[in-house]
Amino acid sequence: MARNEARRIALADAGVAVLAREGSRGLTHRAVDAEADVPTGTTSNYFRSRDALIQGIFDRIGQRLAPTEEDLAARSGIPPNRTLFAAYIRDIVRRLLENREVTLALYELRLAAVRQPNLAAPLAAWQRAGFEADITFNEAAGLPGGRREIALLHYAIEGLVFDRLTSSIDPETSTDEIVDDFVSALILV
């Protein structure tokens, strides 16, 4: 009998919600049970330890943030047009901010990974893969900016998103504007 994957996913999603809402401290088996509205003990059955639960949540975040088919299609259809590239980055940021839950949970996980090597390894690998994919895409699209420029944009966007999701130093300015500034300053030299 196959494992009940649907329930496992539901529990991981509940874990993401708890992690974003309550933080690492509030992430307990019982809290996930309550969030998923299942009997106490269910999460313990699926994720035998707290570490296993965190791993499961990370795997789920990877799935939820992975580009969809349409995204990939849109990517491959993009002509090497600078305006469209900026719009594309704006879109990424918008989605990160809209999926506040997932993004915040991811920041929690990144901090947790600092002191949890068995989480750090897959997390680092996942991040690198995303970074390399971005470089490949950029080259394929014939856009200016190589590894170095893409890295700069990565750092900048991450700092911006962190600022926007936590206490912001300048909430008045529109996020799109800032993204455009970053793209034109860092990539479209």
Partner DNA sequence: TGTAATCTACAACAGGTGTTGTGCTTTGGC
Partner DNA sequence: GCCAAAGCACAACACCTGTTGTAGATTACA
Residue 64 lies near its own copies (rule: CB under 8 A): no
Q: Which does 77 bind (CB under 5 to 8 A by kind): DNA, its own copies, none?
A: none
Q: Which is nearer to DNA, 1 or 169 (CB)?
A: 1
Please choose, out of 8-16, 37-45, 81-89, 146-154, the segment that lies near its own copies by the rule CB under 8 A.
146-154
Q: Is 186 in the site for its own copies (CB under 8 A)?
A: yes
Residue for token pair 């791993």: 55
Out of its own copies, DNA, none, what residue 157 binds, judged by CB under 5 to 8 A for its kind, is: its own copies
DSSP codes joined into one string, 130-178: HHHHHHHHHHHTT-S--HHHHHHHHHHHHHHHHHHHS--S-TTS-HHHH
Q: What radius of gyration do the chain's Cα atoms show? A: 18
How far, rounded to the nearest angstrom, does the alpha carbon of residue 149 sit from its chain's CA centroid? 20
Catalog residues that contact DNA under the rule CB under 7 A: 1-4, 7, 26-31, 38-42, 44-46, 48-51
Work out how close the CB of 44 gets to DNA at its nearest, in angstroms, rounded to a whole number.
4
Alpha carbon distance 21, 32 (integer Å)? 11
Q: Segment near its own copies (CB under 8 A), from 57-65, 68-76, 82-90, 113-121? A: 113-121
Give the shortest CB-112-to-its own copies separation in angstroms. 6
Q: Least distance from C-beta 150 to DNA, angstroms?
A: 38
Stretch of 61-69, 71-79, 90-98, 144-152 lying at the interface with its own copies (CB under 8 A): 144-152
- Positions in the binding site for its own copies (CB under 8 A): 21-25, 27, 104, 107-108, 110-115, 120, 123-124, 127-128, 131, 147-148, 151-152, 154-160, 162-163, 165-170, 173, 178, 181-182, 185-186, 189
